[in-house]
Amino acid sequence: MAQAFELLLRGDAETWGIIGRSLSFSFFATVFSLIPGIPLGIFIAWKPSKGRRVLASLIHAISALPTVVIGLFVYAFLSRSGPLGFLGFLYAPAGVILGQFFLAMPLVASVTYTGLAKLDPRFKETLETFGTPLLFKFSATLREAKTAVLSSVVLSFGRVIGEVGVSMMLGGNIRGLTRTMTTAIALDAAKGEFERAISLGLVLLLIAVAVNVTVNGLAAHGR
């Protein structure tokens, strides 16, 4: 265990590259997932019709799928023998980010939707009554549901930074290109280099804690 800490502090360039890569892949995937995810969540919460409730269940189900399953489906599309092969995303950072996007997006939508469902219904009525423009409705809703939105950011970032199924399948764990903390841990554990695996695991843990603390702090400050 002490060796693990020592490895961390010595910090070679490759290890820091792996950490930086994990952070940037997951950061981009999370940010991109917010763009369709939050509006989708708001859309479902706004008029709870039967159709939208079915959509909500579908999104809940997808957000709980094992990462290898999502990785497999995206792989089928991104392979050269698949329809989107020409993009050249497979075994490259873009593929990992796309896969993680599909992990994060349903989670963002479902958490946003759940959070909004708890909103005071009079808020929605007020917005509807005055015939307010869509953009204002959207930004007002966002402000009211700030906690829900921030939670969705934290949860989706957490889901993607700690996942290995998508990264392994779409990234190929290529040294110097798509090796992330989780795939590196998997490889180190496979090679019996447990000390290195543990040191990366500690970094992952620290990041998860840091993200949680930061966002919860933001939420508390905003209230």
Which positions touch another protein (CB under 8 A)?
20, 24, 27-28, 79-81, 85-86, 88, 90-91, 93, 172-177, 190-193, 218, 221-222
Q: How far is CA 196 from CA 88, 109, 150, 212, in A?
A: 32, 36, 33, 25
Q: Least CB distance from residue 90 to another protein, whole Å?
A: 6
Interatomic CA distance for residues 121 and 184, integer angstroms: 48
Q: Least CB distance from residue 128 to another protein, whole Å?
A: 27
Q: Least CB distance from residue 84 to another protein, whole Å?
A: 12
Q: Which is nearer to another protein, 56 or 197 (CB)?
A: 197
Neighbouring CB atoms inside 10 A of 217's CB total 10
Going by C-alpha positions, the residue among 107, 89, 98, 109 that lies closest to residue 28 is: 98
Q: Least CB distance from residue 193 to another protein, whole Å?
A: 7
Q: Which is nearer to another protein, 118 or 175 (CB)?
A: 175
3-state secondary structure of 152: helix
Q: Which is nearer to another protein, 65 or 177 (CB)?
A: 177
Q: Which is nearer to another protein, 87 or 202 (CB)?
A: 87
- The token pair at 1 is 């265990």
